Structure 1
Amino acid sequence: MVTAPTVTAPVTTAAAGPVPADAPRAALVARARIRAEPDGRGATALPVLSGAGPLAPRRTRDADGGARVVLVGSMAAPLGGDRLALAVEVADGAALTVTSAAATISLPGPGPAHYDVELTVGEGARLDWCPEPVVAAAGSHLLLHTRITLAAGARLRYREEQILGRHHDWARAAGPGRLTSRLTVRRAGRLLLDQRTDLGPGAPGWDGPAVLGGHRATGQLLTVGHPPPAPPRWPEAGDAALLTLPDPDARLLIAAAPDALALRRVLDGD
């Protein structure tokens, strides 16, 4: 099911006519939902698969006995001023993998863009979250907040990758955009992780030795209820560390690397 996005635009009483080239762009407000639950035959059904605006979830071939959804970007977004939201719920006993067809590119506009992601995983359920990177294009500012709620017996593999600027942004000395993100994870009501990062122009010390140290890509792999990821084996590609969270069943691999390819190799253990 695809629902139309809600668009907010300036109100005017003037007569209809051509839109001026310099007219302010209307902000886009869009929310998508995915719900996975057991189908009673040993597989996973998707009773809710709704998209809006640039968020177009599509079911593909099932993987590992569970459902698989690819997020397809149906339009350029997020642009400054946009407000996007995605809610994913994996019911008890279901299994879901979520990927994306391409990177999410944050583009400049009037004010920061907002992207809120809610991931809920039930008892005995599994979620593999591995979309393509978020890229902060020159002049943009994205506020990204991901909230993850896990039942006691839930399993999670969560990969997050953030790229500061596109190649041609750096080639023309425009630099990257700004990416302000927060990741909050709770399991059985207990807080496992509340992480905040602020990278890009305007963020204090973001490119200094204590933060990115000259790297342009950063990311992390969070595993809960899975065997921990292997310690990083590619130190010449960047900097990485494997951390144990308050729950002994949870591990966090964090990395910074010179580019997206090197970052992916560190997180994948290549």
Structure 2
Amino acid sequence: MSLAATARIVAAADGGLPVLTGEGPLAPRRTRATGPYTRVTVVGAMSAPLGGDRLALHTEVRDGARLLVDSAAATVALPGRGGAPATYDLVLTVGEDAELRWLPEQLVSAAGSELRMRTVVDLAPTARLVLREEQVLGRHAEEPGTLLSRLTVRRAGRPLLDQELGYGPGAPGGWDGPAVLAGHRATGQLLVVDPEFADRPVETRLLGEHAVVAPLAGPAALVTAVAPDALVLRRALDEALAELAPERVGSGHGIR
């Protein structure tokens, strides 16, 4: 039987979480952090998403707040009994002089699954964002499921990034070809939006053998990478994260 579940996170400038609710497999929990960030870890309370499931996670970072969201484990998309695709919608809003670090674990597309994932981000002009996405196509020694993913980011109401990716047997042809994954089974990206990039934009360059960083008008930087497995992919994105968006230090409300 498929399910519908929604979780909500609201972070305030004083370090509080006036809203922290979850349903079904989505269980957000406040966890210990350091520095100026309030930290929330999303715990999977049950296996999901299964085919036919409809999941949503809404996060609001109010003016002046600093929020880090991670997850306790990878999310595994699994086939359901009815054959319908699962959907997972992320809606992220970041206010003036606020910062969101969205750093979940990998999304694993298991054989036979079909997941349609949509992430929509709205940023105030002075907001900062660090957003990491990692997809692993198939568990060990298995073929991938079908994964369709769209990321839409707006800053000050204007489009900053809008891209759609598709992998697996239900995706448009060519996804595994030399111009896209070239046989790799792990792929991901790191998006960093920072007003400081207006004065010092990043330069387009390679990061290792299979990753590249490029500037976006916004101001922002986008790192894209492919890798043979999740571990190599994480190393590449961690290197980019440390360079482009190290955690800010100083007093704050990270420890509660």
Provide TM-score, normalisation by structure 1.
Answer: 0.83
Residue of structure 2 aligned with 1:117, choices 80, 84, 90: 90
Structure 1 equivalent of residue 162 of structure 2: 194
Local SS of the residue matching 1:46: coil
* Correspondent of 2:127 among 154, 159, 164: 154
Query: How many angstroms apart in 1 are the aligned matches of 2:13 and 2:191?
Result: 24
Residue deviations 1:73-117, cap 9 Å, x none?
Answer: 000000000000000000000000000000000000121100000
Q: How do 1:205-244 residues align onto structure 2 when only pairs under 5 Å count?
A: 205-225=174-194, 232-235=206-209, 239-244=210-215
1:38 aligns with 2:13: yes
Q: In 2 relative to 1, CA 118–211 (structure 1 residues): closer, same or farther, beyond 3 Å?
A: same
Q: Residue 232 of structure 1 contacts residue 266 of structure 1 at CA under 8 Å; is this kept in 2? A: no
Which residue identity is paired with 2:223?
L
Counterpart-to-counterpart distance in 2, 1:148 and 1:64: 24
Moved more, 179-188 or 200-209: 200-209
C-alpha offsets along residues 130-186 of structure 1, whole Å, 9 cap, x if unaligned? 0001000000010000000000000011011001000042xxxxx111110000000
Computed over aligned residues only, the root mean square deviation of the Cα atoms, in angstroms, reads 1.5
For residues 187 and 115 of structure 1, what CA distance do their matches in structure 2 show? 22
Match of 2:37 in 1: 66
The residue type equivalent to 2:174 in the other structure is: G
Counterparts of 1:31 and 1:188 in 2: how far apart (Å)?
26
Tell me the CA shift for residue 230 of structure 1.
9.7
Amino acid at match of 2:158: R
Provide the rounded CA distance (Å) in 2 between the counterparts of 1:57 and 1:260.
Answer: 24
Contact 2:109 2:145 in 1 (8 A): yes
Paired amino acid for 2:229 = D
* Residue type of the alignment partner of 1:251: A
Q: How many residues align?
A: 232
> Relative to 1, partners in 2 of residues 1:231 and 1:69: Cα closer, same or farther, differing over 3 Å?
farther
Identity of matched residues, %: 60
Q: Which runs of 4+ in 1 moved over 4 A?
A: 226-232
- List gaps (5 residues or longer) in structure 1: 1-25, 170-174
Question: Structure 1's 231 and 56: CA in aligned 2 closer, same or farther, altered over 3 A?
Answer: farther
Q: TM-score, normalised by structure 2?
A: 0.87
Structure showing greater Rg: 1
Deviation at 1:232, TM superposition (A): 4.5
On the 8 A contact 2:51/2:78 being kept in 1, the answer is: yes
2:204/2:215 contact within 8 Å kept: no
Distance 1:229 1:134, change over 3 A: farther
What's 1:17 paired with? none
